Amino acid sequence: MVKGDCKLSGDIVIYAVSDSIGETAEEVAKAAAVQFNSHVKEIKRIPNLTDINMVDELIDRIKSSNALIVYTVIIPEIKERLIKRTMEYNIPAVDILGPVIENMERLTGLKSKHEAGLLRKMNLEYFKRVDAIEFAVKNDDGKDPRGILKADAVLIGVSRTSKTPLSMYLAHKNIYVANLPIVPEVEPPKELYMIPREKIYGLVIQPEKLNEIRRERLRFLGLSDNASYASIDRIKEELKFSRKIMKALNCMVIDVTNKAVEETASIILEDINNRKIEGVSGENTRNY
């Protein structure tokens, strides 16, 4: 709907106004402007219009000019003020989102959140999630020790302690995760000792359960389940070595024996959130 009855003539300036970044309003204005060759002098984006005084300043500045306002304003009081002031000076103003939202409210029986910038927030969340997933893949199984220095969380543990699925699950929660296998014959990379211990999560498991998991894995691969990889003695040796490393790092240790990936992830997420809220302090010797 266009507010105001005046007819514009000659070259005009279009103001793409929004209480968010104004990208949608600007793109609509551009799409319309190309239909009028060079008669649109300029398209000016006015973002973050979140204060009534800002509305008044804008209208007072353009009230005598050959202007058209194209707007995507969600905040009710800002929208009402904009409509009132444009009608006061007969400034044409086109509400891009309003009719769509009104019809969606009518069809769904629900009320709009009236929160500015939601689409941008959703897009930012999406791209961060994709980036976190790519990070987890790149830094899976100790592929690049340098990733340890950039990670929000570093998972360490012997083979088959759910490091990879846990990394991917956390990545979908926008956490940047690197994971590293602990093997007695290989010393952990120096980067592991260069990060705060609070970022490190040691994963352990009961030997018998790990024996069962590894034997099943070997059978799945068509190999003999009597290999050293699934030997209970070898498993105990690996777990003993991994606990030694975890003790030296003084990191949180989580027993994943009877835990689903989601359960282990919730422990880590809670710890990360607590650190964000409270800050890092005190000893981190809890076992789960």
> pLDDT tens digits, residue range 161-207?
999 999 999 999 999 999 999 999 999 999 999 999 999 999 999 99
Closest among 286, 288, 264 to 173, alpha carbons compared: 264
Provide the pLDDT for residue 253.
98
Residue 285 annotated as binding?
Answer: no
Give the tokens for residue 240.
């003993």
159, 210 Cβ separation under 8 angstroms: no
186 beta partners: 183
pLDDT beneath 50, residues of the chain:
1-8, 280-286
Provide the pLDDT for residue 287.
60
CATH architecture of 2-108: 3-Layer(aba) Sandwich (3.40)
CA atoms within 13 A of residue 256's CA, in its CB half-sphere:
29
Radius of gyration of the chain (CA): 29
Phi-psi group of 184: left, alpha or beta (phi > 0 → left; psi -120 to 50 → alpha; rest → beta): alpha
Provide the pLDDT for residue 113.
74
Provide the pLDDT for residue 3.
47
18 beta partners: 72
Q: For residues 274 and 254, give the distance between their C-alpha atoms in angstroms, rounded to a whole number.
A: 17
| CATH number attached to the domain at 122-278 | 3.40.50
Maximum Cα interatomic distance, the chain, rounded to a whole number of Å: 88
Residue 164 annotated as binding?
Answer: yes
Distance of CA 60 to the CA centre of its chain: 40
Provide the pLDDT for residue 278.
66
Give the tokens for residue 265.
């992830």
CA angle 153, 157, 163 (to 5 degrees): 60
Please give the model's pTM, rounded to 2 decimal places: 0.62
68 beta partners: 14
203, 238 Cβ separation under 8 angstroms: no
Residue 160 annotated as binding?
Answer: yes
Residue extent(s) of CATH 3.40.50 domains in the chain: 2-108, 122-278
13, 109 Cβ separation under 8 angstroms: no
Closest among 91, 96, 30 to 66, alpha carbons compared: 91
Residue 257 annotated as binding?
Answer: no
Q: For residues 99 and 95, give the distance between their C-alpha atoms in angstroms, rounded to a whole number.
A: 7
Q: For residues 90 and 65, give the distance between their C-alpha atoms in angstroms, rounded to a whole number.
A: 11
Phi/psi at 246 (nearest 5 deg)? -65, -40
Provide the pLDDT for residue 88.
96
180, 154 Cβ separation under 8 angstroms: yes
* Integer angstrom CA distances of residue 34 from 11, 48, 123: 13, 25, 28
Residue 157 annotated as binding?
Answer: yes
Residue 158 annotated as binding?
Answer: yes
